[in-house]
């Protein structure tokens, strides 16, 4: 069979790696990179680290307003799909690349498989929530990470083509997880003390596009009393400069601004941190799998299980709540297995074959 896989952002590169290896054992895969993340550290570095094949097509869409970016993806993706005539299109997660792949599949009547289906924040103000809802309702095959995701789909009337496979990011993590020696080397390079620093990622529009939210989070980092290691997303850097906070952070002794990190480095820094502070769904999940407490600077999360277990706390973009949570942070005694055994790619490949009857 021929599969066409659409990717465009960091989490999708990570998720695509194990599935690509599984599919290519028996099938042909056409890999299409929309170019949504075009910075080297956000794109090619992950391909190299994870052993992802070179994309067959790079649409080179770049950044832009949501409507314009999605429209550009549609215009460039459609002729590729028409020419390739795949047996199915595969999409991941909740980005504009996800939405573009879903719309093209629906318009051209090609079976669509959504990896990480059924995730919901129930906040339609988030572009990602709109993308994932539309993608799910256009998909024929829904590969779910959790039982909660399965139930979300059923409540929306989606009852066929549902598969519980665990989380494919766990597959990727197991493949590239740094050893203790590698982690120690990465920590030492940044002159960090294990267990005595924060790992921070901020990139969601609800925080970066709101000066008050972004300022509150940064002020919490400046006041935390702990070293905060902050790999800065290019978009976040621009926003921080726009509100005149960049220089203040650069001049601080306890905030360490660093470039976006590779996947292995990111995992190492999370695993040895006192806590993770993030607005990223993927990082929340990685922190859980690495058994590092997480503070999510949002009012809701798709990964509700991490909150229920106590490993993740929703603190919002609120300086006082962030600092209070850090002061009273205690890792829970138990750590349930929430996301499978790291065999999602194999399960997905098998379900694809059976569903498509090939």
Distances (CA, A) of 99 to 106, 131, 337: 11, 5, 30
pLDDT given for residue 358 in this prediction = 62
Asked if the domains 2-167+340-356 and 178-327 are classified in one and the same CATH topology, the answer is: yes
The structural domains of the chain, with segments of one domain joined by +, span 2-167+340-356, 178-327
Give the residue among 184, 98, 82, 107 at the shortest CA–CA distance from 136: 98
- Catalytic annotation, pick one of 33, 114, 142, 203: 203
pLDDT given for residue 47 in this prediction = 79
Interval 41-58: pLDDT, tens: 556 777 788 888 889 999
Interval 110-140: pLDDT, tens: 999 999 999 999 999 889 999 999 999 999 9
pLDDT given for residue 40 in this prediction = 53
For every residue of 285-307, DSSP letters joined together read HHHHHTT--EEE-SS--S-HHHH
pLDDT given for residue 132 in this prediction = 97
Is residue 39 predicted with pLDDT exceeding 70?
Answer: no
In sequence order, the 6+-apart residues with CB closer than 8 A to the CB of 308 are none
Interval 166-194: pLDDT, tens: 999 999 999 999 999 999 999 999 999 99
pLDDT given for residue 116 in this prediction = 97
Reading the block at residue 38, the tokens are 């075009």
Is the CATH number 1.10.260.40 carried by domain 2-167+340-356?
no
Name the CATH architecture for the domain at 178-327: 3-Layer(aba) Sandwich (3.40)
| 203 counts as catalytic | yes
Interval 8-28: pLDDT, tens: 988 898 899 999 999 999 999
pLDDT given for residue 23 in this prediction = 97
Is residue 292 predicted with pLDDT exceeding 60?
Answer: yes
For every residue of 117-170, DSSP letters joined together read ET-----TTSHHHHHHHHHHHH-SEEEESSHHHHHHHHHTT--SSEEE---HHH
Is residue 351 predicted with pLDDT exceeding 70?
Answer: yes
pLDDT given for residue 325 in this prediction = 97
Q: How many Å apart are CA 282 and CA 285, to the nearest integer?
A: 5
Across residues 209-235, what is the average pLDDT?
95
């Amino acid at each position: 069979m021929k599969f066409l896989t659409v990717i465009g952002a960091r989490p999708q590169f990570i998720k695509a790696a194990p599935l690509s290896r599984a599919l290519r054992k028996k099938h042909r895969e056409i890999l299409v990179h929309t170019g949504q993340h075009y910075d080297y550290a956000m794109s090619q570095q992950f391909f190299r680290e994870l052993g992802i094949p070179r994309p067959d097509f790079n649409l080179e869409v770049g950044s832009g307003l949501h409507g314009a970016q999605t429209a550009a993806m549609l215009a460039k993706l459609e002729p590729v799909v028409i020419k390739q005539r795949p047996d199915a299109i595969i999409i991941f997660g909740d980005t504009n690349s996800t939405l573009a792949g879903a719309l093209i599949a629906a318009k051209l009547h090609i079976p669509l498989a959504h990896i990480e289906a059924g995730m919901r924040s129930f906040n339609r103000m988030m572009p990602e929530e709109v993308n994932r809802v539309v993608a799910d309702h256009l998909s024929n095959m829904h590969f779910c990470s959790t039982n909660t995701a399965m139930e979300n789909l059923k409540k929306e009337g989606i009852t066929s083509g549902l598969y519980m496979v665990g989380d494919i990011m766990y597959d990727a993590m197991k493949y590239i997880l740094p050893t203790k020696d590698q982690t120690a080397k990465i920590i030492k390079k940044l002159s960090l003390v294990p267990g005595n620093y924060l790992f921070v990622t901020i990139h969601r529009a609800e925080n970066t596009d709101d000066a008050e939210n972004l300022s509150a989070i940064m002020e919490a980092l400046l006041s935390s009393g702990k070293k905060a290691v902050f790999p800065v997303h290019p978009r976040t850097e621009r926003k921080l400069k726009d509100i005149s906070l960049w220089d203040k952070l650069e001049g601080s002794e306890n905030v360490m601004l660093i470039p976006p990190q590779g996947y292995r480095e990111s995992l190492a820094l999370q695993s040895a941190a006192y806590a993770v502070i993030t607005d990223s769904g993927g990082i929340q999940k990685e922190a859980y799998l690495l058994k590092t407490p997480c503070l999510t600077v949002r009012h809701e999360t798709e990964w509700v299980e991490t909150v229920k277990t106590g490993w993740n706390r929703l603190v919002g973009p609120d300086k006082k709540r962030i600092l209070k949570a850090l002061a009273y942070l205690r890792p829970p005694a138990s750590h349930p297995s929430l996301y499978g055994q790291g065999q999602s790619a194999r399960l997905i490949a098998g379900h694809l074959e059976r569903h498509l009857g090939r």
